[in-house]
Structure formats: structure tokens, C-alpha cells
Amino acid sequence: MERGPLPWVTTGVERREREEHASALVGAHVVSVRYFDIDYRRLQNATDGEVLRGGRLVTASDEWSNPPWLWPDFDALDYGLELDTSTGKTLSVIWEQAGVNDGITMRQKSLRPGRLVADGAFAIWDATERSRWTPLIAQKVTAVQLLWHRMESSADLCCDGVTIDFGSDALHLTLGDADGHGKSVGSSDNVAVLSEDAARQYRVGPHGPPNDVL
């Protein structure tokens, strides 16, 4: 699996490089969104010894009636997501973890090939018209902000959140998952998508701690 630039930095030059990739969204419109999740159905239905490889586009109505990533206040993805823009660019968001460092990478690059394990079983959900992104499709992105924190004192400066501002509304991507009660909690290996109201409720993104510095 190709790792590429990671979501933690040690210099201002590295930080600006990460932020430059994210800024490709500014002034553009998001035209389509794809979620990448563990393919639970395929794994549950697999026969003993069956080798499962690559992605499967989810189309069945019974699967869409209860997506595993959909929670009352947020979406939580096992892997990450892709955004296609009106400028023809594709940006991807995925979590990374190594030792005391964990964070979110946002790159001008798709997740496939390279960013997902080639022989993994992952489900691809076209979330363009059935997710928290739907009301914001075709609205111009006015700003993108990366949020930077140290996971512990010995860690590098890590990007653990992305705020995408659409002018009158915003979506917040963070390291998060659902607890046993369906509430948002921090997680080093999931990407959560929250509305502005949910981000305020859970105090994430710009509503959480201020950015740390190098």
C-alpha cells in the first residue's frame, strides 16, 4: 500500500504542503462523494477459505436501508472518502496511524490504487445523494481548514480534523467513531463526518481545542 505524505509534520514547510493540497477545494463545487468502508456483507457471506479482493460498489436497496456508517449525528467510515470536484480534481481523505502519531490525510489523489490494501474487501458507497453531503452538492467551497494537534507530548504535530466551509454551512471531518450508544467519540482508525451543529455538540473541529504549534 502506497503511504505517501503522512498527516503529521515536523516543519512549517511540511505543514504548508499538506494545506496546499487541501486548498484545491476552495472555489470549487463538490459534485460527487464516495465512502469507503469495510465490506461487512461480503465478509459475512464468504465461504471458508474464500479470498476477497478489492472494492464492491453498493447498490442493493436493503443495504442502503441501513448503512453501517450512518449514525443519528454523524457518518463514521472505516477507511475514508473521495470527493470529485467541478474542476475535475479528486481529493481523498483517509486516516493514518504509526506509533504515537495518528491523523487524517487530505490529498489531491484518489484512494485507488495505492491508498487501500489491494487485496482487502472494501465497500464503496456513492454517498452523493444519500448523506450529509447531499444538501451541499454544487455549493461553492469558500474555505478549507486543517486542524493540528499533538496526540501526546512525544508525538509530531498531527492533522486530526478538516473543516470544509460552504459559506452558509460547513462539514467537519475528524478522527471519530460511534460508541455503544451511537454517540461520537474519538478514534484513531475511523473518519467521521459531522454537520456544523453536531461539531458544536461534540466540540470537534474549530469548536474543540485550539491548534497546537510546531
Tens-of-pLDDT digits for all 214 residues of the chain? 455 578 999 999 999 999 999 999 999 999 999 999 999 988 888 777 776 778 899 999 999 999 999 999 999 999 999 999 999 999 999 999 999 999 999 999 999 877 887 767 899 999 999 999 999 998 999 999 999 999 999 999 999 999 999 998 999 999 999 999 999 999 999 999 999 999 999 999 999 999 998 8
**What SS3 state is found at 10?**
coil
| 210 belongs to a structural domain | no
Number of domains making up the chain:
1
**Do 27 and 138 form a contact (C-beta atoms < 8 A)?**
no
pLDDT value for 114: 75
| 13: in domain | yes
The whole-number pLDDT of residue 1 equals 47
Answer whether residue 208 is part of any domain: no
Q: Is residue 2 part of a domain?
A: no
* 121 occurs within a structural domain: yes
Is residue 213 domain-resident? no
202: part of which helix (H) or strand (E)? helix 196-202
What is the number of H-type helices and E-type strands within the chain? 4, 12
Residue 21 domain-assigned (yes or no) = yes
Q: What is the pLDDT of residue 4?
A: 57
What grid cell was written down for 136? 451541499
Contact 164, 155 (CB under 8 A): no
Position 147 in a domain:
yes
Question: Is the CA virtual torsion 48, 54, 59, 65 positive or negative?
Answer: positive
- Which residues is 9 bridged to in the sheet? 157
Radius of gyration of the chain (CA): 17
Domain of 20? 8-202
β-strand pairing of 101-107 with 121-126: unpaired
Report the predicted TM-score, pTM, of the whole model to 2 decimal places.
Answer: 0.93
